[in-house]
Amino acid sequence: MAEAILEQIAETLMKGRAPQLKELVQQALDQGMGPEQILQEGMIAGMSVIGGKFKRNEVYVPEVLIAARAMNAGMEVLKPALSDAGVKAKATICVGTVKGDLHDIGKNLVCMMLEGAGYEVVDLGVNVETEKFIAGAKEHQAQLVGMSALLTTTMGAMKAAVDGFKEAGLADQVKILVGGAPVTQSFADEIGAHGYAADAATAVDVADQLLNAG
Ligand code: B1M
C-alpha cells in the first residue's frame, strides 16, 4: 500500500504532472505517511531517475525542467510537514553564475537538481562577484558553493572567486564545485576547486561526495 503511493509519486514527478503530484503527496500525508519517507522514497527517488536519464541523454533539458517544476509543486505541500517533523536539508549550497556571465539556464538546472536531491539551495543569481559568493556562503553558512561559467572569457572570474575563498580563509570550510560548458576537470584542478561536474545530475553526485552526504 505504502509502496504503491510512493511509486505513484515518483512516476507522477517523472512525468511532470504537478497538480496530480500535489494531490498524491497530500493523500500520502493524510494516510499518515512520514514526510521524509515521501520526500526520499517518492520525490527524490523520481528525481534521481530523471537525473540518471539526463546523464545518459535519454531525456533532455525540457523534461528535467518539467520534472523539477513538479518537484517544486510537491514541495509546497510537503514543506510544512517536513518542518513540523524537524527534517533538515542535507546541507546548504549557494550557487551562482560568475561575474561577467549572464547565462543561467544550466545554473538553474543545477539548482533544481540539488534541491531535488534534498539540499537547501540559495540561488545567488548571475554576474556574481567574488565578494557576493563569499558573503552568501557566510550568511547562509553554506557547506558548498557552486559556480557556473558559460563563456571562456568568464573562466578567469571563476578562478578569481576560488582565489577569493582561499584568501578569506574559507577554502577548508566551504567546498567549491564548478561547471559550465567551457569548464573541464583539468581547469577545475588548475584553479583549486574541490570538484567539477559536467552536467546537473553529476553535480548532485559530486556534491554528495564532497559533503559525504550520499
Ligand atoms: Co550565449 N554563448 N552569449 N547566450 N549562449 C554561448 C555559451 C556560446 C557557446 C554560443 C556560441 O558562440 N556558440 C558563446 C560562448 C563562446 C565562448 O565563450 N566560447 C556565447 C556567447 C559568445 C554569448 C555572448 C557574448 C553573445 C554576444 O552578446 N555577443 C553573450 C554574453 C552575455 C553574457 O553572459 N555576458 C551571450 C548571451 C546569451 C543569451 C542572453 C542570448 C542567452 C542566455 C540566456 C540565459 O541563460 N538566460 C545565450 C544562450 C542561450 C547561449 C547558448 C545558445 C545556450 C546556453 C544554454 O543555456 N545551454 C550557448 C551555446 C550552446 O551552449 N549551445 C551560448 C543549455 C544549458 C542547460 O547548458 O549552460 O551548458 P549549460 O549547462 C549544463 C552544463 O554546462 C552543466 O550543467 C548544465 C546542465 O547539464 N553546468 C554545470 C552548468 N553550470 C554548472 C555548474 C555546476 C555543474 C555543472 O556546478 C556548480
- In angstroms, the CA 205 to CA 168 distance is 27
Number of structural domains (the chain) is: 2
Residue 150 CA: which ligand 1 atom is closest?
A: 7
CA of 103 to the centre of ligand 1 (A): 5
Cβ–Cβ under 8 Å, residues 130 and 99: yes
Name which of 199, 133, 206, 144 is nearest 167 in CA terms. Answer: 133
Lowest pLDDT segment from 8-12, 84-88, 175-179? 84-88
Residue located via cell numbers 505504502: 2
83 pLDDT more than 90: no
For ligand 1, the distance from its centroid to the CA atom of residue 151, given in whole angstroms, is 7
Nearest-5° Cα angle at 67, 17 to 133: 140
List the strands of the sheet with 92-98, edge to edge.
120-128, 92-98, 144-148, 175-179, 195-196
DSSP reduced 3-state for 141: coil
The parent domain of residue 30 ranges over 2-84
Confidence at residue 86, expressed as pLDDT on a 0 to 100 scale: 81
Same domain, 194 and 143: yes
Please report the pLDDT score of residue 150 as a whole number.
98
Residue 2, pLDDT > 80, answer no
The phi-psi region of residue 100 (left if phi > 0; otherwise alpha if psi is between -120 and 50; otherwise beta) is left
Ligand 1 center from residue 174 Cα (angstroms): 26
Mutation test residue for ligand 1: of 95, 103, 109, 208, the one with most atoms within 8 Å of CB: 103
Q: Above 90 in pLDDT, residue 192?
A: yes
Give the H/E segment covering residue 206: helix 200-211
pLDDT tens string 34-68: 998 999 899 999 999 999 999 999 999 999 999 99
Q: Which residue has the higher pLDDT, 82 or 102?
A: 102
Question: 196 with 132, same domain?
Answer: yes
Q: Does the CB atom of residue 85 touch ligand 1 within 6 A?
A: no
pLDDT per position as a tens digit, 106-132: 999 899 889 988 999 999 999 999 999
CATH number at residue 102: 3.40.50.280
CA distance 173 to 25: 36
pLDDT at 213: 77
Give the residues across from 196 on adjacent strands.
178
- 116 plus 172 within the same structural domain: yes
Banded pLDDT at 214 (limits 50, 70, 90):
low
Query: What's the rounded mean pLDDT across residues 179-188?
Result: 98
